[in-house]
Amino acid sequence: MEHRDSTGASQNRPELLAPGGSLEKCRIAFLYGADAVYAGGREFSLRGHARNLTDEELAAACFLAHSMKKKLYVTVNTFARESDIRRLPGYLEYLQDIGADALIISDPGVLLLARKHAPRIPIHLSTQANTMNSSALSFWKSQGVRRVNLARELTFSELQAVSGQSGVELEVFIHGAMCISYSGRCLLSAFLNERSANRGLCTQPCRWSYRLVEEKRPGQYFPVIEDDNGSYIFNSRDLCLLDSLDRLMELGIHSFKIEGRMKGVLYLASTVRTYRQAVDALIENPLDYKVKKHWMEDLDRVSHRPYTRGLLFADSRQEGSPVASETTYCQTHTLAGIVRPSPHNSWARSLSGLSPKRHMVYVEVRSRLTPGTLLDFLNPDGTTVSHLLDDFEDLQGNALNVAHPNTWIRFPASLPVFPCQVVRMKRVADAKERRDLK
């Protein structure tokens, strides 16, 4: 009989945990296959630049998650100041009242308050607690922690050593941006910008370009390392463990976590549906797990730094340094828009009206669109349906030659769509390719 944890996941079926930087992102993560979403409120969360969720939106996200038989974890992972301690009890009590499925915490003081003021909510330990050994796991278990996100500095052999004797649920990051500092505990932004990463305000100065200047020679700048692009303190590549999920599942990891509460919805939909397919394929046939070409194509079509397997495997260093040699992102595609329900229909009617017949499609535009643009409609099952945008109009029926971001358009099409469906397009369109597709 397989062992099940509090989420319903088992050692043979790890949970897929996705970021939710807003209420809409929570909805999209669930639609594209996440088992659980982690999101933060407007306070006490380590993503101060993200939109985050109001108290009312957190309640709505909990209701949405539970209606879909999913989970919502709330991040309360700030390193609290004394002024925070006075305000936290009421907030923790509120999170318990709305039914949050777990609290993600890093500060021991916040943990004590959570046990007192929200005793019914399980506690998950943030990666920023730097947990790297079985003794630390035992300590946190004794403090009432149910799950621990292990530090990204661990190697695979070290994961093996702690996984068999943990006594708590284990969670690891499998995809997303990585920080230069030990489990993200960095002071660089605080010193340079007076915005502390440990308070959710990181400005990522580690990825700026740097030069060396001598005190008595102002204006004379020298590269720290001879490089045409400059020098970087630690310009980390992005983590991608798609080809290592089978080895991680063998260890009994309970939850695979995707980074990115500040990322856009194209990143969210693409990564969640890719890892959903991968985890499902792994569960169905664990002895013959292979990364499919279109999975990596999906991950390559979101804005990202070059990928790495980080510090997990020794051979990762042979594949290339985890430090990128430039600051630029790989950006071949962008978000074209998001499908919206007809203003004349309810959400329920829109969700049930997936007819193959030609019908009017409504899209909230996020990038400039012109006739001849090839749109990709992303489906949760991993398929992508393309549509060549010819004629389109505004909601009043006026024909348009161009659609600008933050406006709505409509056009007839035969493809099935659903509200919150993500639509992408090539960042730089090839005019000849457009003509050939007509």
Residue 420 sits at the vertex; the CA angle it makes with 413 and 51, to the nearest 5 degrees, is: 145
3-state helix, strand, coil in the chain (%, to 5): 30, 25, 45
Residue 33 sits at the vertex; the CA angle it makes with 31 and 37, to the nearest 5 degrees, is: 85
Report which of 382, 375, 371, 372 is spatially closest to residue 361, judged by C-alpha positions: 375
Give domain limits for the chain: 15-178+237-319, 185-235, 333-437
Distance CA 97, CA 202 (A): 31
Distance CA 71, CA 27 (A): 12
Report which of 152, 128, 35, 26 is spatially closest to residue 76, judged by C-alpha positions: 128
The distance between the two most distant Cα atoms of the chain, rounded to a whole number of Å, is 74
pLDDT for res 202: 72
How far is residue 25 from each of residues 38, 50, 263, 350, 377, measured CA to CA in Å? 10, 11, 10, 19, 17
Q: What is the pTM of this model?
A: 0.84
Third-level CATH fold of 15-178+237-319? TIM Barrel (3.20.20)
Residue 40 sits at the vertex; the CA angle it makes with 37 and 42, to the nearest 5 degrees, is: 155
How far is residue 1 from each of residues 140, 252, 286, measured CA to CA in Å? 27, 14, 18
Report which of 249, 263, 232, 341 is spatially closest to residue 19, judged by C-alpha positions: 263
Answer yes or no: same fold for 15-178+237-319 and 333-437.
no
Distance CA 195, CA 177 (A): 19
E-strand stretches of 352-419: 359-365, 373-378, 384-389, 408-413
Distance CA 358, CA 106 (A): 52
Residues 304 and 330 sit within 8 Å (Cβ to Cβ)? yes
pLDDT for res 197: 63
Q: Indicate the DSSP class of residue 43.
A: S
Quick one: angle between helices 156-163 and 134-142, nearest 10?
A: 50
Distance CA 25, CA 29 (A): 6
Q: How does pLDDT run along the chain (438 residues), one tens digit per residue?
A: 344 444 444 456 899 999 999 999 999 999 999 999 999 998 887 655 556 899 999 999 999 999 999 999 999 998 898 999 999 999 999 999 999 999 999 999 999 999 999 999 999 999 989 899 999 999 999 999 999 999 988 999 999 999 977 789 999 999 998 776 656 666 666 666 666 665 566 767 766 666 677 777 787 766 555 455 444 555 678 899 999 999 999 999 999 999 998 899 999 999 999 999 999 999 999 999 999 999 999 999 999 988 988 888 865 544 555 555 555 678 899 999 999 998 876 444 444 444 446 789 999 999 999 999 999 999 999 999 999 999 999 999 999 999 999 999 999 999 999 999 999 999 864 444 444 444
Residue 182 sits at the vertex; the CA angle it makes with 225 and 142, to the nearest 5 degrees, is: 170
Decide yes or no: CATH 3.20.20.70 for domain 333-437: no
